[in-house]
Copies of this chain bind each other. A is one copy, B any other.
Amino acid sequence: MYIPTLDDVLAGRERIDPYIHRTPVLTSRILNELTGAELFFKCENLQKAGAFKARGAANAVFGLSHEQAKKGVATHSSGNHGTCLSYAAGRRGIPCTVVMPRTAPQAKKDAVRGYGGRVVECEPSTSSREKVFAEVVGETGAEFVHPYNDHRVIAGQATCSAELIEQVESLDALVAPIGGGGMISGTCLALSHLAPQVKIYAAEPEQADDAYRSFRAGHIIADDAPDTVADGLKVPLKELTWHFVRNYVTDIQTASEQEIVDAMKLIWKRLKIVMEPSSAVPLATVLKNPEVFAGKRVGIIITGGNVDLEKLPWN
């Protein structure tokens, strides 16, 4: 297992610079008063294709050799990674195939196609997904880019917190959501080298708390059918992300469904940004654990903004 290094992050930053936004950092006096902390929201919902995953996807796509690039890339994802890989492949002008359950939301399929990617449907089961995906790779010779258990992807995600510490001085802590652990691993990778004094907290839904339980058990525990409004956070940790979580995360905190929706609405109302339920879990945990964050300068990663405007969780 190759562990990405600071050099990978610095090379990735240069590589993806033309294809991603340097996203703004927002603050709110009212949210500071509510939490007793000084919060700095890194708005990756304003990132290309609407999610931080454009960083990792672009780093993987633009790092391919000319020969490999011609064969294109492939992944299985019904979430932002599929959209972002399609975006990055489109920018390089190479083929991208995303395997998705036929039951995935139409909007997600349209998003992949909107950036020029091809959607191949499978049955909503792991076995079907693996079978169909193997066929796709067999036919095309496409390079598999895993949503998070991939050193190129993690090095790409690391550019987000590398940027944040240039935008905000002397942070005490950083809180990011945790699903498969790609963003958290990138955060650990960047900060362990560039700002080791910053404590890293992961935020997870109670109803998909496999990382929380893994962290306490000391080994990976997978969830049994997690179900949460934060649908970006249902996937389990893998070897590479577990390496970073185990070694660099200070703590993992959880929030209930209601706490997540309340925090989401608070951010929409106060920061005036459109973001996903998954991105609200960090504020929910900060509100829930004032003793940990009060008086501190805390970075919060708003991971994505791809939400169905017709189906908001409070309507």
Contacts and interface: CB of A to CB of B under 8 A. Distances in A.
A53 B273 CA distance: 19
A48 to B, nearest CB: 8
A269 B46 contact: no
Interface residues of A, number: 23
B310 A315 contact: yes
A3 interface: no
A174 to B, nearest CB: 20
A314 B309 contact: yes
B272 A272 contact: no
A257 B272 CA distance: 22
Given A24-B24, A265-B309, A309-B265, A50 B314 contact: no
Contacts of A271: 46
A89 B158 CA distance: 42
A275 B272 contact: yes
A310 B305 contact: no
Contacts of A292: none
Contacts of A29: 48
A271 B309 CA distance: 13
Contacts of A314: 309-310
A272 B45 contact: yes
A194 interface: no
A26 interface: yes
A159 B265 CA distance: 30
A247 B50 CA distance: 41
Given A46-B272, A46-B273, A272-B305, 12 more contacts: A21-B27, A26-B46, A29-B48, A46-B271, A50-B272, A265-B309, A268-B274, A268-B309, A272-B274, A273-B273, A309-B312, A310-B314
Interface of A: 21, 24, 26-27, 29, 45-46, 48, 50, 265, 268-269, 271-275, 305, 309-310, 312, 314-315
11 contacts: A21-B27, A45-B272, A46-B271, A46-B272, A265-B309, A269-B274, A272-B273, A272-B275, A274-B274, A309-B312, A310-B314
